[in-house]
Amino acid sequence: QQPVQSPQAVILREGEDAVINCSSSKALYSVHWYRQKHGEAPVFLMILLKGGEQKGHEKISASFNEKKQQSSLYLTASQLSYSGTYFCGTGGSTLGRLYFGRGTQLTVWP
Amino acid sequence: EAEVAQSPRYKITEKSQAVAFWCDPISGHATLYWYRQILGQGPELLVQFQDESVVDDSQLPKDRFSAERLKGVDSTLKIQPAELGDSAMYLCASSLELGETQYFGPGTRLLVL
């Protein structure tokens, strides 16, 4: 039930945009997005729930397509601080466990 | 800002030895999770507690791993005996209730020699 993330890695210049995709073979109730820097704990970015609206947080936003069982994370005008590995965690119910993807490594160069 | 606390941050042990990790969740969080993260992969749930009760331990290798949350607050994860393949980051997370946002602690990096 592990979701599939794409791409595996992205290299950007400051100011460029990126999209990270998360796809599941199972029906989804929620999608959780995290960013993890090397050697540190994952940091929560946002949660999207079934029937909910697209979320936004500064220049980072996300969408959730329930029918396609997919979510996308949008990073606009990327900053150096955006570098890290992005994980999506998917949940099949209100009480269920999360399954995390293998991550997308994002590198932003000046 | 409240945080999840974990100790130790680093642990080196020899195979066949016992190790224990401790986690103190954010105050008031009823749900506590233990994850294992192998280098280059996403976190994998080992065990999930709601207060002092285990909700999901289907991926916990019960022949060598054990976890408890006796008073429904802090928690301990134990491995006995440790094997080479147990080398990983062990992350603890907590949430107000089941299904809500999970906040991760800094993790314990385990190296088994």
pLDDT per position as a tens digit, B7-44: 999 999 999 999 999 999 999 999 999 999 999 899 99
E-state strands within chain A: 4-6, 9-13, 18-23, 30-36, 43-49, 55-57, 60-65, 70-75, 84-91, 98-100, 104-109
Could you tell me if B109 and B9 are in contact, meaning their C-beta atoms sit under 8 angstroms apart?
yes
Are residues B101 and A89, on separate chains, in Cβ contact within 8 Å? no
pLDDT digits (tens, 9 = 90+) for A64-75: 988 889 999 999
Separation between Cα atoms, residue A86 and residue A103, nearest integer Å? 5
| Min Cα–Cα distance to chain A from B65, Å | 19
Half-sphere exposure of A12 (CA within 13 A, CB side): 25
Asked if A8 has any chain B CB less than 8 Å from its own CB, the reply is: no
Q: How far is A97 from chain B (nearest CA, A)?
A: 8
Query: How does residue A54 score in pLDDT terms, banded at 50, 70 and 90?
Result: low
| Interval B81-108: pLDDT, tens | 999 999 999 999 999 998 889 999 999 9
Q: Which of A44, A91, A101 sits opposite B42 (nearest CB)?
A: A101
**B55 and A95 in contact by Cβ < 8 A?**
yes
> B107: which chain A residues are within 8 Å (Cβ-Cβ)?
41
Query: With an 8 Å Cβ cutoff, is A94 touching chain B?
Result: yes
Instruction: Identify the band that residue B47 occupies on the pLDDT scale cut at 50, 70 and 90.
Output: very high
B102 to A98: CB separation less than 8 angstroms, yes or no: yes
pLDDT of residue A56: 66
Average pLDDT over residues A80-87: 96
Q: What is the pLDDT of residue A55?
A: 67
